[in-house]
Amino acid sequence: MPPMQTDTPSASLVRDLLARRAIALGLADAGPEDSVPDAAIERLLEQEVRTPEPTEEECSRYYTVHEDEFVVGELVAASHILFAVTPGAPAVLIRTKAEQVLARLGGEPEAFAECAASMSNCPSGSQGGQLGQLSRGQSVPEFEQALFDASRPAGILPRLVNTRFGFHIVRIDQRIAGKALPYEHVRTRIAEQLTERVQHSALVQYVRVLAGEEGTTVPGIDAATSPLVQ
């Protein structure tokens, strides 16, 4: 189990907790917490934080519930009109304008290309808002979620899609179905995902216990008063 990253204040506090524990167990020489090497903290975690391997039943159940995660070849042809939100821009007014245009297009869908050309803040506006065929992983998560929601039929989506770039009016032009990879092809990947989740939960619980023993407060992690606390 790798040591925790220390690029945030909370993570730095967690690392200090683990460093003190490593020193207490003789896994590192006494001294300042920041002098404790990552290797010592890694040995500590391997020694004290044990996580079970996911069972075949757990992996199979995950595949059944999340089969859409393992689809390949799925494509969506889409177009959009972007109302960009930049730092300092009046987001409420921009959203209101986008909603007005969306309402108009609900009754005049044929005006989509014209609105994209005159209003979109994306270069695709010159092409009527067309983005071409997109596969998973090619757009930001919020946009991708809207595109690949198979419950939504082709046509203009009834609500704005909000991303880090602004507000989007999205039109699904075509869906090309993909193919689900067989379970045996993704079993190893599933096991790794489940193991990572269990490791994270076990590590958080371990840190909670250490924080409780020291009476230390770590933002985002409540201290536990018993190692049995779940």
Predicted confidence at residue 83, as pLDDT, reads 98
Question: Where are the domains positioned within the chain?
Answer: 9-64+183-214, 74-177
Predicted confidence at residue 192, as pLDDT, reads 94
Bridging pattern class, strands 71-72 and 179-180: antiparallel
Looking at residue 198, its amino acid is V
Predicted confidence at residue 9, as pLDDT, reads 54
Predicted confidence at residue 215, as pLDDT, reads 84
Predicted confidence at residue 23, as pLDDT, reads 94
CATH number (2.80.10.50, 3.50.50.60, 3.10.50.40, 3.30.565.10) of 74-177 reads: 3.10.50.40
Burial string for 200-218 (b: 16+ CB within 10 Å, else e) reads eebbbbbbbbbbbeeebeb
Predicted confidence at residue 51, as pLDDT, reads 84
Q: Give every residue of the chain whose pLDDT is below 50, as ranges.
A: 2-7, 224-230
Check: CB of residue 229 under 8 Å from CB of residue 208.
yes
Sequence-distant (≥ 6) Cβ neighbours of residue 128 within 8 angstroms: 79, 112, 113, 116, 117
Strand partners of residue 133: 77
